[in-house]
Amino acid sequence: MTKLTRRRLEAPRYVSATQIMIKKYLILSLSLILTGQLYAQQTNGLFKNDSLAFNGYTLFAPINYSNTYLVDNCGYLVNEWQSNYNPGLSAYLLPDGSLLRTIRTNSSFFLGGGSGGGMEIRDWDNNFQWQLIYSQDSIHHQHHDVEYMPNGNILLIAWEYKTAQDAIDAGRDPSLVGLSFWPDKIVEIKPIGINSAETVWEWHAFDHIIQDYDSDKPNYGVVADHPELINLNYYTSPNPDWLHINGVNYNPELDQIVLSVRNHSEFWVIDHSTTTEEAAGHTGGNSGKGGDILYRWGNPQAYDRGTSDDRVFYAQHDAHWIPKGYPGAGDIMVFNNGKGLSFNIHSSVDVITPPVDVEGNYAITDGEAFGPTELTWTYEAPMPPDFYSPNISGAQRQPNGNTLICEGSKGHLFEVNEAGDILWEYIAPVSFGGPLSQGVTMNGQNGVFRAYRYSADYEAFEGRDLTADTPVELNAIDYECKIYELLTVTENVNFLNDKIKIHPNPVNSHLNIENSSGEEVRAVIFDVAGRALEERYERDASFQINVNHYQQGIYFIKFYTDKNNLFLIKKITKI
């Protein structure tokens, strides 16, 4: 069988420049060599792994199967967790190496999309640790997502039951009400024992509504005057799943929560610093606004401060803050599904910079929508309709500035750089019944709610055996992550050391490289964790590398000859 050579760049150990020889180390760098015939046979697994992809381990939980998978950048299986339940829907690898996973239980009552019902924790070796069923007919039912908090508590999304009359009595247009009404609530629980939990905080959407339909009913007012409240009649379907919140994310610096509200095509930010009693009202907490919406974005029509021309999001998922220490930290990233666009239907990944001050307050002008008016960054496919998932899906910023994207309905996981170039690409090879054979057509049955990549130095991996040499898919194409051992640096190569100069150092914006060796060189910048951030091939005597977008700190630049021989390492300080 023809072999594919897949090469992946991994971090070498850094050594002192005063050493005569450096230690040998391994570089795994992917290069796909596919004949037309072989490419036509490949339908799943790894398609691309560029050396500039962020090196780590990717977690995904197929929505139609009960196992959860962790693969390396070569698509090789590192760990696998088995369960008695399909996901409902999210899964996360915790710092101690255990898996927090939502589970899909049976409910004869709450039958909405994304239905879950509970969650479980299993350790690295798949041993059962804890489980909670959060589902009671005619009371509540967990769905879609959970969020693990720094204090070990868990935030969950749940529908809560209201009768049709409850909704009408609150001011909902009776023509928009079906047999029942399910507003969402957010609940913070503290796991106890192996099958129970204590509720420590709650927020209910139904406590923060406004309506302009019936002046004889509660909550009556001018919707546009109250962007902090939820228009009870904005979503006009009689479907009881009124809001369909599909994502919850916590910001520990602000002590705030962002919610992705699909049926309103916007996200909301709420205050978590409140007590449960304050969260039910309009005062209290760091914001002084209780449980009212602090900030919302994506569709100002939902609060009567815009038109269809101002709408950006269409049935979006996975609104979350880019974490502290990552490029774009503090911005909010969203997978914008695009379902409902009237033409050129496609998905995008959108990032906005919220108008927030250091105290967590959001600016808004009277009578206008919340800003900003422009996206900070967006990814669309070169041919936009080629990238489209009408449901599920998510994205994750990587420490090197790349973005991992899960085109969920297709099980298509891929990583792009800031310019939108695809650096890593993988098709989830799992459907009903488990892993599929290579060559099988997916037919949309290999969906993945989200995928997350964890860096090689993530504490969950400390002391773990991460040996991996087998793909997830069955009857895999015969390929290998080929190991390339670089030659040791000898005096015959070291003569080039004095021929490469860099300045300024420390550097703020642009690093100048002067090459008087006459040799073509490859320059690669690594961070202190050994992650390759970018590389340049140059014959010119002098060239520049823009480091404006780097965080402050220590980096290393390594120079190689055209024969891939390392001959120089220099430390860079970014200020």
Query: What are the structural domains, with CATH classification, of the chain?
Result: 495-574 (2.60.40.3080)
pLDDT digits (tens, 9 = 90+) for 135-168: 999 999 999 999 999 999 999 999 999 999 999 9
**Are the C-beta atoms of residues 545 and 536 closer than 8 Å to each other?**
yes
What is residue 536's predicted lDDT score, i.e. its pLDDT? 82
Residue 48, pLDDT above cutoff 50: yes
Contacts (Cβ under 8 Å, ≥6 apart) of 104: 85, 86, 87, 88, 89, 115, 116, 117
Backbone phi, psi, residue 422, to 5°:
-80, 125
**pTM higher than 0.75:** yes
Question: Binning pLDDT at 50, 70 and 90, where does residue 537 land?
Answer: confident
Kindly report the average pLDDT of the chain as a whole number.
88
Residue type, 75: G
What is residue 431's predicted lDDT score, i.e. its pLDDT? 97
Residue 480, pLDDT above cutoff 90: no
What is residue 20's predicted lDDT score, i.e. its pLDDT? 27
Q: What is the mean pLDDT of residues 172-186?
A: 97
CB 548: neighbour CB atoms within 10 A? 9
Q: What is the mean pLDDT of residues 200-216?
A: 98
Q: Compute the distance between CA of residue 147 and CA of residue 251 in angstroms, rounded to an integer.
A: 11
- Least confident segment among 14-23, 269-278, 292-301, 511-520: 14-23
pLDDT digits (tens, 9 = 90+) for 438-470: 999 988 999 999 999 999 889 999 999 998 879
Q: Compute the distance between CA of residue 464 and CA of residue 466 in angstroms, rounded to an integer.
A: 6
What is residue 496's predicted lDDT score, i.e. its pLDDT? 56
What is residue 486's predicted lDDT score, i.e. its pLDDT? 30
Return the percentage of the chain with pLDDT > 70, whole number.
88
Q: What is the mean pLDDT of residues 397-409?
A: 95
Task: Give the tokens for residue 435.
Answer: 């892993």
pLDDT digits (tens, 9 = 90+) for 86-106: 999 999 999 999 999 999 998
